[in-house]
Structure 1
Amino acid sequence: MFNLVIFGPPGAGKGTQSAKIIEKYNLAHISTGDMFRMHITENTVLGQKVKELLSEGILVPDSITINMLEEEVNNNPDVSGFIFDGFPRTVAQAESLDVFLKGKNEEISLVIQLDVNEDEIKQRIAERKKVSGRADDDETKLIRRIDEYFQKTVHVLPYYEKQGKLIKIEGIGAIDDIFAKLSETIDNQMNR
Protein backbone atom coordinates (compact mmCIF):
# COMPACT_ATOMS: atom_id res chain seq x y z
CA MET A 1 0.00 0.00 0.00
CA PHE A 2 1.27 3.48 -0.88
CA ASN A 3 0.45 6.21 1.66
CA LEU A 4 1.23 9.82 0.78
CA VAL A 5 1.02 12.98 2.86
CA ILE A 6 0.81 16.26 0.97
CA PHE A 7 1.79 19.43 2.86
CA GLY A 8 1.55 23.11 2.13
CA PRO A 9 -0.04 26.24 3.49
CA PRO A 10 -3.66 27.13 2.66
CA GLY A 11 -3.88 27.86 -1.06
CA ALA A 12 -0.71 25.92 -1.97
CA GLY A 13 -2.62 23.69 -4.39
CA LYS A 14 -2.93 20.58 -2.23
CA GLY A 15 -6.53 19.91 -3.29
CA THR A 16 -5.87 20.51 -6.98
CA GLN A 17 -2.78 18.29 -7.04
CA SER A 18 -4.39 15.65 -4.81
CA ALA A 19 -7.21 15.22 -7.33
CA LYS A 20 -4.69 14.59 -10.12
CA ILE A 21 -2.67 12.17 -7.95
CA ILE A 22 -5.81 10.24 -6.99
CA GLU A 23 -6.80 9.84 -10.62
CA LYS A 24 -3.36 8.67 -11.75
CA TYR A 25 -2.46 6.41 -8.82
CA ASN A 26 -5.89 5.20 -7.65
CA LEU A 27 -5.42 6.36 -4.07
CA ALA A 28 -8.23 7.15 -1.65
CA HIS A 29 -8.25 10.83 -0.73
CA ILE A 30 -8.58 11.77 2.91
CA SER A 31 -8.95 15.50 3.33
CA THR A 32 -9.65 16.67 6.84
CA GLY A 33 -10.99 19.91 5.37
CA ASP A 34 -13.48 17.98 3.21
CA MET A 35 -14.49 15.82 6.19
CA PHE A 36 -15.04 18.94 8.30
CA ARG A 37 -17.07 20.65 5.54
CA MET A 38 -19.23 17.53 5.10
CA HIS A 39 -20.03 17.44 8.82
CA ILE A 40 -20.76 21.19 8.77
CA THR A 41 -23.05 20.84 5.72
CA GLU A 42 -24.89 17.94 7.34
CA ASN A 43 -25.11 19.98 10.58
CA THR A 44 -23.94 17.06 12.73
CA VAL A 45 -22.99 17.67 16.35
CA LEU A 46 -19.36 17.34 15.28
CA GLY A 47 -20.03 19.73 12.38
CA GLN A 48 -21.42 22.36 14.73
CA LYS A 49 -18.33 22.13 16.94
CA VAL A 50 -15.97 22.20 13.96
CA LYS A 51 -17.81 25.22 12.50
CA GLU A 52 -17.43 27.09 15.77
CA LEU A 53 -13.70 26.33 15.98
CA LEU A 54 -13.00 27.13 12.33
CA SER A 55 -14.94 30.40 12.54
CA GLU A 56 -12.44 31.44 15.21
CA GLY A 57 -9.49 30.23 13.08
CA ILE A 58 -8.63 27.51 15.62
CA LEU A 59 -7.42 24.04 14.68
CA VAL A 60 -9.85 21.22 15.44
CA PRO A 61 -8.57 19.16 18.42
CA ASP A 62 -6.46 16.11 17.58
CA SER A 63 -8.89 13.67 19.15
CA ILE A 64 -11.74 14.68 16.82
CA THR A 65 -9.55 14.81 13.72
CA ILE A 66 -7.83 11.48 14.40
CA ASN A 67 -11.09 9.64 15.11
CA MET A 68 -12.59 10.93 11.84
CA LEU A 69 -9.47 9.96 9.90
CA GLU A 70 -9.28 6.44 11.38
CA GLU A 71 -12.94 5.90 10.53
CA GLU A 72 -12.30 6.98 6.94
CA VAL A 73 -9.28 4.64 6.57
CA ASN A 74 -11.23 1.73 8.05
CA ASN A 75 -14.11 2.39 5.62
CA ASN A 76 -11.76 1.88 2.62
CA PRO A 77 -10.05 -1.50 3.16
CA ASP A 78 -9.60 -2.35 -0.54
CA VAL A 79 -7.75 0.73 -1.84
CA SER A 80 -4.16 0.87 -3.16
CA GLY A 81 -3.27 3.47 -0.57
CA PHE A 82 -4.22 6.88 0.76
CA ILE A 83 -3.34 10.48 0.19
CA PHE A 84 -3.60 12.48 3.39
CA ASP A 85 -4.40 16.12 2.63
CA GLY A 86 -4.39 18.57 5.55
CA PHE A 87 -3.29 15.96 8.05
CA PRO A 88 -1.19 15.64 10.12
CA ARG A 89 -0.92 19.26 11.26
CA THR A 90 1.05 18.66 14.43
CA VAL A 91 3.83 16.30 15.50
CA ALA A 92 1.37 14.66 17.90
CA GLN A 93 -0.98 13.95 14.97
CA ALA A 94 1.93 12.57 12.91
CA GLU A 95 2.88 10.25 15.76
CA SER A 96 -0.76 9.13 16.17
CA LEU A 97 -1.02 8.45 12.44
CA ASP A 98 2.18 6.38 12.53
CA VAL A 99 0.87 4.32 15.47
CA PHE A 100 -2.49 3.79 13.77
CA LEU A 101 -0.90 2.73 10.47
CA LYS A 102 1.64 0.49 12.20
CA GLY A 103 -1.30 -1.34 13.79
CA LYS A 104 -2.43 -2.10 10.23
CA ASN A 105 1.14 -3.10 9.18
CA GLU A 106 1.35 0.07 7.09
CA GLU A 107 3.33 3.31 7.15
CA ILE A 108 3.61 6.67 5.43
CA SER A 109 5.50 6.05 2.18
CA LEU A 110 6.23 9.64 1.15
CA VAL A 111 5.64 13.21 2.36
CA ILE A 112 5.55 15.99 -0.24
CA GLN A 113 5.76 19.64 0.73
CA LEU A 114 4.34 22.05 -1.85
CA ASP A 115 6.53 25.11 -1.38
CA VAL A 116 4.63 28.35 -2.08
CA ASN A 117 5.41 31.84 -0.77
CA GLU A 118 2.90 33.86 1.24
CA ASP A 119 2.18 36.48 -1.47
CA GLU A 120 1.27 33.75 -3.97
CA ILE A 121 -0.94 32.06 -1.38
CA LYS A 122 -2.89 35.25 -0.67
CA GLN A 123 -3.39 35.87 -4.39
CA ARG A 124 -4.60 32.30 -4.99
CA ILE A 125 -7.03 32.37 -2.10
CA ALA A 126 -8.45 35.73 -3.18
CA GLU A 127 -9.15 34.15 -6.59
CA ARG A 128 -10.53 30.95 -5.04
CA LYS A 129 -12.88 32.93 -2.81
CA LYS A 130 -14.43 34.63 -5.85
CA VAL A 131 -15.23 31.23 -7.36
CA SER A 132 -15.98 28.98 -4.38
CA GLY A 133 -17.38 31.33 -1.78
CA ARG A 134 -15.73 29.17 0.89
CA ALA A 135 -16.24 30.70 4.33
CA ASP A 136 -12.74 29.67 5.40
CA ASP A 137 -11.29 31.97 2.71
CA ASP A 138 -12.27 35.10 4.64
CA GLU A 139 -9.16 37.33 4.88
CA THR A 140 -9.00 37.46 8.70
CA LYS A 141 -9.48 33.70 8.98
CA LEU A 142 -7.00 33.15 6.18
CA ILE A 143 -4.29 35.09 8.00
CA ARG A 144 -4.92 32.97 11.10
CA ARG A 145 -4.74 29.76 9.04
CA ILE A 146 -1.50 30.82 7.36
CA ASP A 147 -0.03 31.79 10.75
CA GLU A 148 -1.20 28.45 12.18
CA TYR A 149 0.58 26.64 9.34
CA PHE A 150 3.87 28.47 9.81
CA GLN A 151 3.74 28.37 13.63
CA LYS A 152 2.56 24.77 14.13
CA THR A 153 2.12 22.66 11.02
CA VAL A 154 5.51 23.42 9.48
CA HIS A 155 7.12 21.77 12.53
CA VAL A 156 5.82 18.39 11.35
CA LEU A 157 8.17 18.48 8.37
CA PRO A 158 11.37 17.75 10.38
CA TYR A 159 9.57 14.74 11.90
CA TYR A 160 9.25 13.18 8.45
CA GLU A 161 12.60 14.52 7.26
CA LYS A 162 14.31 12.50 10.04
CA GLN A 163 12.54 9.42 8.66
CA GLY A 164 13.88 10.17 5.16
CA LYS A 165 10.37 10.57 3.76
CA LEU A 166 10.18 14.31 3.00
CA ILE A 167 10.53 15.79 -0.51
CA LYS A 168 10.03 19.51 -1.22
CA ILE A 169 8.52 20.51 -4.57
CA GLU A 170 8.14 24.05 -5.91
CA GLY A 171 4.39 24.76 -5.85
CA ILE A 172 4.45 27.82 -8.13
CA GLY A 173 3.95 27.39 -11.86
CA ALA A 174 1.57 25.70 -14.23
CA ILE A 175 -0.60 23.05 -12.58
CA ASP A 176 0.49 20.38 -15.08
CA ASP A 177 4.18 21.22 -14.62
CA ILE A 178 3.86 20.88 -10.85
CA PHE A 179 1.98 17.61 -11.33
CA ALA A 180 4.76 16.28 -13.58
CA LYS A 181 7.27 16.92 -10.77
CA LEU A 182 4.94 15.25 -8.26
CA SER A 183 4.47 12.23 -10.52
CA GLU A 184 8.21 11.81 -11.02
CA THR A 185 8.75 11.93 -7.25
CA ILE A 186 5.95 9.45 -6.55
CA ASP A 187 7.09 7.09 -9.32
CA ASN A 188 10.65 7.11 -7.96
CA GLN A 189 9.38 6.28 -4.46
CA MET A 190 7.06 3.51 -5.71
CA ASN A 191 9.83 1.91 -7.74
CA ARG A 192 12.22 1.56 -4.79
Structure 2
Amino acid sequence: MRIVLVGPPGAGKGTQAAYLAKNLKVPHISTGDLFRANISQGTPLGKLAKSYMDAGNLVPDEVTIAMAQERMAQPDAANGFLLDGFPRNVSQAKALDEALATDGVKLDAVLDLEVPEDEVVTRIAGRRVCRNDSAHVFHVTYSPPKTEGVCDLCGGELYQRDDDSEETVRTRLEVYHTQTEPIIDHYRAQGLVVTISALGKVTEVTERAMAALERGRAA
Protein backbone atom coordinates (compact mmCIF):
# COMPACT_ATOMS: atom_id res chain seq x y z
CA MET A 1 0.00 0.00 0.00
CA ARG A 2 1.05 3.57 -0.68
CA ILE A 3 -0.05 5.76 2.20
CA VAL A 4 0.37 9.35 3.36
CA LEU A 5 0.10 9.89 7.11
CA VAL A 6 -1.20 13.26 8.24
CA GLY A 7 -2.19 14.80 11.55
CA PRO A 8 -1.39 17.69 13.88
CA PRO A 9 1.74 17.84 16.04
CA GLY A 10 1.24 15.60 19.04
CA ALA A 11 -0.98 13.15 17.17
CA GLY A 12 1.65 10.41 17.44
CA LYS A 13 2.45 10.22 13.72
CA GLY A 14 6.02 9.05 14.19
CA THR A 15 5.03 6.27 16.59
CA GLN A 16 2.11 5.12 14.45
CA ALA A 17 4.18 5.31 11.26
CA ALA A 18 6.71 2.86 12.68
CA TYR A 19 4.05 0.36 13.76
CA LEU A 20 1.98 0.65 10.60
CA ALA A 21 4.98 0.33 8.29
CA LYS A 22 5.98 -2.85 10.12
CA ASN A 23 2.47 -4.31 9.92
CA LEU A 24 2.08 -3.37 6.26
CA LYS A 25 5.63 -4.48 5.41
CA VAL A 26 6.48 -1.22 3.64
CA PRO A 27 9.23 1.33 4.37
CA HIS A 28 8.50 4.28 6.65
CA ILE A 29 9.69 7.35 4.74
CA SER A 30 10.13 10.34 7.03
CA THR A 31 11.18 13.70 5.61
CA GLY A 32 13.26 14.33 8.73
CA ASP A 33 15.17 11.09 8.12
CA LEU A 34 15.55 11.94 4.42
CA PHE A 35 17.12 15.30 5.19
CA ARG A 36 19.49 13.85 7.80
CA ALA A 37 20.54 10.97 5.53
CA ASN A 38 21.15 13.15 2.47
CA ILE A 39 23.07 15.76 4.43
CA SER A 40 25.20 13.26 6.36
CA GLN A 41 26.01 11.32 3.17
CA GLY A 42 26.86 14.50 1.28
CA THR A 43 24.55 13.73 -1.65
CA PRO A 44 23.95 16.48 -4.24
CA LEU A 45 20.45 17.02 -2.81
CA GLY A 46 21.84 16.99 0.72
CA LYS A 47 24.43 19.63 -0.15
CA LEU A 48 21.76 21.74 -1.82
CA ALA A 49 19.44 21.48 1.19
CA LYS A 50 22.28 22.30 3.56
CA SER A 51 23.18 25.43 1.59
CA TYR A 52 19.66 26.78 2.16
CA MET A 53 19.64 25.75 5.82
CA ASP A 54 23.07 27.28 6.50
CA ALA A 55 21.81 30.55 5.03
CA GLY A 56 18.83 30.45 7.38
CA ASN A 57 16.37 29.86 4.55
CA LEU A 58 13.63 27.28 4.11
CA VAL A 59 14.50 24.38 1.82
CA PRO A 60 12.43 24.83 -1.38
CA ASP A 61 9.63 22.37 -2.07
CA GLU A 62 11.35 21.08 -5.19
CA VAL A 63 14.36 19.88 -3.17
CA THR A 64 12.15 18.09 -0.64
CA ILE A 65 10.12 16.56 -3.45
CA ALA A 66 13.25 15.37 -5.25
CA MET A 67 14.48 13.65 -2.07
CA ALA A 68 11.13 11.94 -1.59
CA GLN A 69 10.99 10.82 -5.23
CA GLU A 70 14.49 9.41 -5.03
CA ARG A 71 13.60 7.45 -1.89
CA MET A 72 10.31 6.14 -3.30
CA ALA A 73 12.20 4.84 -6.34
CA GLN A 74 14.35 2.50 -4.24
CA PRO A 75 13.66 -1.25 -4.49
CA ASP A 76 12.22 -1.67 -0.98
CA ALA A 77 9.44 0.82 -1.85
CA ALA A 78 8.41 -0.98 -5.04
CA ASN A 79 5.32 -2.48 -3.39
CA GLY A 80 4.42 0.51 -1.26
CA PHE A 81 5.54 3.01 1.34
CA LEU A 82 4.27 5.14 4.21
CA LEU A 83 5.05 8.85 3.90
CA ASP A 84 5.40 10.73 7.19
CA GLY A 85 5.92 14.51 7.11
CA PHE A 86 5.45 14.78 3.36
CA PRO A 87 3.59 16.33 1.68
CA ARG A 88 3.40 19.34 4.03
CA ASN A 89 1.32 21.59 1.79
CA VAL A 90 -0.97 21.45 -1.25
CA SER A 91 1.87 22.36 -3.61
CA GLN A 92 3.84 19.32 -2.45
CA ALA A 93 0.71 17.15 -2.62
CA LYS A 94 0.14 18.11 -6.26
CA ALA A 95 3.81 17.46 -7.07
CA LEU A 96 3.52 14.04 -5.43
CA ASP A 97 0.42 13.28 -7.50
CA GLU A 98 2.34 14.13 -10.66
CA ALA A 99 5.41 12.11 -9.65
CA LEU A 100 3.34 9.01 -8.89
CA ALA A 101 1.31 9.39 -12.10
CA THR A 102 4.57 9.52 -14.07
CA ASP A 103 5.51 6.19 -12.50
CA GLY A 104 2.07 4.76 -13.26
CA VAL A 105 1.07 4.34 -9.61
CA LYS A 106 -1.17 6.19 -7.16
CA LEU A 107 -1.81 6.52 -3.46
CA ASP A 108 -4.07 3.98 -1.78
CA ALA A 109 -5.00 6.08 1.23
CA VAL A 110 -4.33 9.23 3.22
CA LEU A 111 -4.60 8.35 6.90
CA ASP A 112 -5.73 11.36 8.93
CA LEU A 113 -5.01 11.05 12.67
CA GLU A 114 -7.60 13.18 14.44
CA VAL A 115 -6.88 14.64 17.88
CA PRO A 116 -8.73 17.49 19.66
CA GLU A 117 -6.60 20.63 19.91
CA ASP A 118 -6.77 20.74 23.71
CA GLU A 119 -5.47 17.18 23.85
CA VAL A 120 -2.55 18.11 21.60
CA VAL A 121 -1.64 20.94 23.97
CA THR A 122 -1.95 18.62 26.98
CA ARG A 123 0.23 15.95 25.36
CA ILE A 124 3.05 18.25 24.31
CA ALA A 125 3.01 20.94 27.01
CA GLY A 126 2.96 18.27 29.71
CA ARG A 127 6.24 16.67 28.62
CA ARG A 128 9.22 16.95 30.93
CA VAL A 129 12.74 15.94 29.86
CA CYS A 130 15.75 15.06 31.99
CA ARG A 131 18.67 17.49 31.71
CA ASN A 132 21.12 14.58 32.14
CA ASP A 133 19.63 12.37 29.43
CA SER A 134 17.07 13.58 26.88
CA ALA A 135 15.92 9.98 26.38
CA HIS A 136 14.39 10.12 29.88
CA VAL A 137 10.98 11.64 29.19
CA PHE A 138 8.05 11.98 31.59
CA HIS A 139 4.62 13.58 31.46
CA VAL A 140 2.95 15.52 34.25
CA THR A 141 -0.37 13.76 33.57
CA TYR A 142 0.26 10.47 31.77
CA SER A 143 3.61 9.33 33.21
CA PRO A 144 4.57 11.59 36.13
CA PRO A 145 7.85 11.07 38.00
CA LYS A 146 7.69 9.75 41.57
CA THR A 147 9.08 13.08 42.77
CA GLU A 148 7.99 16.22 40.97
CA GLY A 149 10.79 17.70 38.88
CA VAL A 150 13.17 14.77 39.47
CA CYS A 151 14.04 12.00 36.99
CA ASP A 152 13.17 8.54 38.35
CA LEU A 153 16.06 6.97 36.42
CA CYS A 154 19.04 9.16 37.31
CA GLY A 155 17.89 11.87 39.70
CA GLY A 156 18.46 14.61 37.14
CA GLU A 157 16.36 17.75 36.90
CA LEU A 158 13.27 17.55 34.71
CA TYR A 159 12.42 20.58 32.61
CA GLN A 160 10.06 21.71 29.88
CA ARG A 161 11.73 22.34 26.52
CA ASP A 162 11.01 25.66 24.85
CA ASP A 163 9.44 23.79 21.92
CA ASP A 164 6.97 22.20 24.35
CA SER A 165 5.58 25.39 25.86
CA GLU A 166 1.85 25.96 25.36
CA GLU A 167 2.49 29.13 23.36
CA THR A 168 4.85 27.32 20.98
CA VAL A 169 2.47 24.38 20.63
CA ARG A 170 -0.42 26.65 19.68
CA THR A 171 1.80 28.41 17.12
CA ARG A 172 2.73 25.02 15.62
CA LEU A 173 -0.95 24.10 15.48
CA GLU A 174 -1.75 27.32 13.65
CA VAL A 175 0.98 26.53 11.09
CA TYR A 176 -0.50 23.04 10.69
CA HIS A 177 -4.03 24.39 10.17
CA THR A 178 -2.82 26.97 7.65
CA GLN A 179 -0.26 24.98 5.65
CA THR A 180 -0.77 21.24 6.07
CA GLU A 181 -4.43 20.66 6.89
CA PRO A 182 -5.58 21.84 3.42
CA ILE A 183 -4.01 18.72 1.90
CA ILE A 184 -6.78 16.71 3.57
CA ASP A 185 -9.39 18.45 1.41
CA HIS A 186 -7.11 18.00 -1.62
CA TYR A 187 -7.03 14.24 -1.06
CA ARG A 188 -10.65 14.01 0.12
CA ALA A 189 -11.67 15.20 -3.35
CA GLN A 190 -9.87 12.10 -4.66
CA GLY A 191 -11.69 9.81 -2.22
CA LEU A 192 -8.47 8.87 -0.44
CA VAL A 193 -8.92 10.21 3.09
CA VAL A 194 -9.44 7.79 5.98
CA THR A 195 -9.93 9.60 9.30
CA ILE A 196 -9.50 7.86 12.64
CA SER A 197 -9.31 8.99 16.25
CA ALA A 198 -5.75 9.02 17.58
CA LEU A 199 -6.94 8.95 21.19
CA GLY A 200 -6.18 5.93 23.37
CA LYS A 201 -3.27 3.54 23.75
CA VAL A 202 -0.72 3.27 20.95
CA THR A 203 -1.78 -0.30 20.16
CA GLU A 204 -5.45 0.69 20.06
CA VAL A 205 -4.75 3.47 17.57
CA THR A 206 -2.67 1.09 15.41
CA GLU A 207 -5.44 -1.51 15.38
CA ARG A 208 -7.99 1.19 14.54
CA ALA A 209 -5.79 2.42 11.67
CA MET A 210 -5.19 -1.05 10.25
CA ALA A 211 -8.89 -1.84 10.34
CA ALA A 212 -9.75 1.44 8.60
CA LEU A 213 -7.13 0.87 5.91
CA GLU A 214 -8.40 -2.67 5.30
CA ARG A 215 -11.98 -1.39 4.97
CA GLY A 216 -10.77 1.22 2.50
CA ARG A 217 -8.89 -1.35 0.47
CA ALA A 218 -11.93 -3.66 0.37
CA ALA A 219 -14.30 -0.88 -0.69
Instruction: Provide TM-score, normalisation by structure 1.
Output: 0.82
Give the deviation of 1:15 after TM superposition: 0.7
Which range moves more in the overlay, 34-43 or 166-175? 34-43
Q: Output aligned runs, 1:40-189, within 5 Å.
A: 45=47, 46-47=49-50, 49-50=52-53, 60-76=59-75, 79-126=78-125, 130=129, 131-132=134-135, 137=163, 139=165, 142-189=169-216
Judged with a 3 Å threshold, the aligned counterparts in structure 2 of structure 1 residues 15 and 75 are, in CA distance, closer, same or farther, namely: same
Q: Does the 8 Å CA contact 1:129/1:137 hold for their aligned counterparts?
A: no
Q: Does the 8 Å CA contact 2:26/2:77 hold for their aligned counterparts?
A: no
Larger Rg: 2
Query: Which structure's relative contact order is higher, taking Cα pairs within 8 Å and 6+ residues apart?
Result: 1
Give the deviation of 1:125 after TM superposition: 2.8
Q: Does the 8 Å CA contact 1:3/1:81 hold for their aligned counterparts?
A: yes
Judged with a 3 Å threshold, the aligned counterparts in structure 2 of structure 1 residues 103 and 171 are, in CA distance, closer, same or farther, namely: same
Aligned length: 186
Q: Does the 8 Å CA contact 2:100/2:106 hold for their aligned counterparts?
A: yes
Structure 2 residue ranges without an equivalent (≥5): 138-160
SS at 1:4 equivalent: strand
For 1:31, give the aligned amino acid: S
Alignment RMSD (CA, Å):
2.8
The Cα offsets for residues 114-147 of structure 1, whole Å up to 9 and x where unpaired, read as 01122322333346662559x8945465444322
Query: Which residue is equivalent to 2:5?
Result: 6
For 1:105, give the aligned amino acid: G
Judged with a 3 Å threshold, the aligned counterparts in structure 2 of structure 1 residues 187 and 59 are, in CA distance, closer, same or farther, namely: farther
Instruction: Provide TM-score, normalisation by structure 2.
Output: 0.73
The Cα offsets for residues 130-188 of structure 1, whole Å up to 9 and x where unpaired, read as 2559x894546544432211111111111111111111111111111111110101112
Structure 1 residue ranges without an equivalent (≥5): none
- Distance, in Å, in 2 between the alignment partners of 1:142 and 1:38 is 27
Give the percent of matched residue pairs that are identical in Structure 1 and Structure 2.
34
